[in-house]
Chains A and B, each alone.
Chain A
Amino acid sequence: MTAADAVTAFSLRQVQQIRGDDVHTLRDVDLDIPRGEVVALVGPSGAGKTSLIRLLNRLDSPASGSITYDGSLIETIPVRELRRRVAFVFQAPAMFPGTVAENLAVARDLARAAPNAGAIKIPEPDEALHLAGVDPAFASRDAQSLSGGERQRVSIARALMTGPETLLLDEPTSALDPDVADHIIATVRMLAASMQLTVVMVTHRLEEARAVSTRTVFMEAARVIEAGPTETMFTAPTNERARNFLLRGK
């Protein structure tokens, strides 16, 4: 492992994805995601943001190109190990049948059964709920009966039960009131800091991206147009389309 690998969580090279009949959902994607950073993935609807993060825990595979995690090509990591280490929080998360506590137990049992999970530290359910900002009294609630914001938090808590190194979030706040959204964002920021998680978060809200992230990636029309430190991206992006998108209304 080289020095560069040690600080890089994900590294994508020349990634292409084609769906259905010749729809290019990703084109020539080169991207590095350094370990421990909170990366915001922004861009217009249909840019390929969801497509991109789905590749990172192999919910989909690219047509060509390479993706490494921690210096290893992701195809060489047992897929259940990769998915334990890289958690995915969906835009509209599905709750499993049963209570919130049972949902967390499913994740914990799957994590324990994953390959090479011997030494991982799995939080207690109470701790995971606390970290995700869920009242511990929710443990006995029927998960199917939760509101959108509650589901989002429980699904973050559920993801934490696998003891992940990296958290992928697809528009975790898109369906929520601004108040609830602010809470989720505060949670994500706190998690990244307290658990040294690498976070990749897709978001439509630029102020949210700016508040939470250390790096920002701008995508448009299946390409990564520009990526860099969030402060630079929101003040002086070099690409003109990135500037139009990120500095709109300024």
Chain B
Amino acid sequence: MMLVAPQTASSSVLALSWLDLAFAGALVIVAMAISAWQRLGLARGFAIGAVRAVVQLVAVGYVLTYLIATRRWYLVLLTLLVMLVAATKTATDRQKRGRAKLFVISGTAMLIGAGVTLAYVDVIVLRLHPWYDPQYLIPLFGMIIGNAMNGAALAADRLNSEMELRRGEVEAYLALGASPARASAEAVRRALVAAIMPTLNMLMVVGLVSLPGMMTGQIIGGSSPLTAVRYQIVVVFMLAGAVAMTSVVVALWYRGTFFTAAEQLVSR
């Protein structure tokens, strides 16, 4: 494929040596020193975290190198699936109530929300050839799934607390013959706002307060900032769709677990 060397890319990128990384590691030592000085008890955590970050990122680097080199559609899909499962586990680990069921709910919601978004961007927006091009799919899915995961976790968490807080109201609706959907409409609405709001805030300030990681990376990698910006626009729109879809599936499905078949509140 690459018979002609690209004019800009790699040539303008500084290659980092391990020694360079060691210098960067000094900054983690600053964090550890502050932790020790202020007795935060986080020094050990920083040491472990720094090692984990290195190991995880290097491992991912090799996986990506392998995927991009081999270009096998099933390996790409398998990678996406592993990312989905890891994100689902992270989103549901902190929840106390009905975790097994919530795992299924969140996993399916992210599969729908992130999957539909990724497929749409792949086929309609970027029109990738081949459709499974790992160089695009995996970084994009990483961003989508990360945000979908936060949406799923926030939706579940907030629905849980709203349903607890509003028990009296929900039951007052039920006692008048309201459906569970009607009785919990306000709780669901608030859970969805809580889940989606961070994404909306991100849309409002992107480029002003923060330069997103992907855009930063592309620019450092030698892309023209205007190209990087176009990709970033696709990314933020993508995140809006993915988070909204994931959150609504989680909220509407999880809602069902608070009610019995006889339209009663499940007791605590």
Within 8 A of B (CB), among A27-85: 57-61, 75, 79-81, 83-84
Stretch of B8-16, B146-154, B165-173, B228-236 with 4 or more beta carbons under 8 angstroms from chain A: B165-173
Contacts of A107 in B (CB 8 A): 176
Contact A114 B177, CB 8 Å, known A94-B168, A97-B186: yes
Instruction: Say if the beta carbon of A11 comes within 8 Å of chain B.
Output: no
Q: Are A96 and B172 in contact (CB under 8 A)?
A: yes
Within 8 A of A (CB), among B162-203: 166, 168-169, 171-179, 182, 186
Complex partner residue of B262 from A58, A81, A159, CB under 8 angstroms: A58
Q: Are A79 and B263 in contact (CB under 8 A)?
A: yes
- Alpha-carbon distance between A97 and B172 when the two chains are bound, in angstroms: 12
Complex partner residue of A111 from B173, B177, B264, CB under 8 angstroms: B177
Instruction: Say if the beta carbon of B267 comes within 8 Å of chain A.
Output: yes
A233 to chain B, nearest CB (A): 28
Contacts of B179 in A (CB 8 A): 80
Contacts of A20 in B (CB 8 A): 267
Complex partner residue of A60 from B168, B177, B182, B264, CB under 8 angstroms: B264
B218 to chain A, nearest CB (A): 47
Within 8 A of B (CB), among A106-158: 106-107, 110-111, 113-114, 155, 158
Within 8 A of A (CB), among B18-66: none
Instruction: Count residues on chain B whose CB falls below 8 Å from chain A CBs.
Output: 20
Q: Are B175 and A87 in contact (CB under 8 A)?
A: yes
Instruction: Say if the beta carbon of A228 comes within 8 Å of chain B.
Output: no
Complex partner residue of A106 from B166, B174, B176, CB under 8 angstroms: B176
For the complex, would chain A's binding face be called helix, strand, loop or mixed by DSSP majority?
mixed
Binary contact readout B230-268 vs A (1 if CB under 8 angstroms, 0 otherwise): 000000000000000000000000000000101111010
Instruction: Say if the beta carbon of A248 comes within 8 Å of chain B.
Output: no
- Alpha-carbon distance between A20 and B182 when the two chains are bound, in angstroms: 28
A143 to chain B, nearest CB (A): 11
Q: Are B175 and A57 in contact (CB under 8 A)?
A: yes
Q: Are B177 and A59 in contact (CB under 8 A)?
A: no
Closest to B167 in A: A94
Q: Are A94 and B169 in contact (CB under 8 A)?
A: yes
Q: Are B172 and A93 in contact (CB under 8 A)?
A: yes
- Alpha-carbon distance between A87 and B176 when the two chains are bound, in angstroms: 7
A2 to chain B, nearest CB (A): 27
Q: Are B177 and A94 in contact (CB under 8 A)?
A: no
- Alpha-carbon distance between A75 and B260 when the two chains are bound, in angstroms: 13
Q: Are B172 and A90 in contact (CB under 8 A)?
A: yes
Q: Are A61 and B176 in contact (CB under 8 A)?
A: no
Closest to A78 in B: B177
Instruction: Say if the beta carbon of A162 comes within 8 Å of chain B.
Output: yes
A226 to chain B, nearest CB (A): 29
Contacts of B265 in A (CB 8 A): 59
Q: Are A80 and B177 in contact (CB under 8 A)?
A: yes
B198 to chain A, nearest CB (A): 25
* Those 7 A-B pairs whose CB atoms lie nearest each other, nearest first: A94-B168, A80-B177, A83-B177, A88-B175, A94-B169, A84-B177, A94-B172
| 15 extra A-B contacts, CB within 8 A, seeds A58-B263, A97-B186, A110-B176 | A58-B262, A80-B263, A83-B175, A83-B177, A84-B176, A87-B175, A90-B168, A90-B171, A92-B168, A93-B168, A93-B172, A94-B172, A106-B176, A155-B172, A159-B176
**Can you spell out 7 A-B residue pairs with CB atoms less than 8 angstroms apart?**
A60-B267, A80-B178, A80-B263, A81-B177, A97-B186, A110-B177, A113-B177
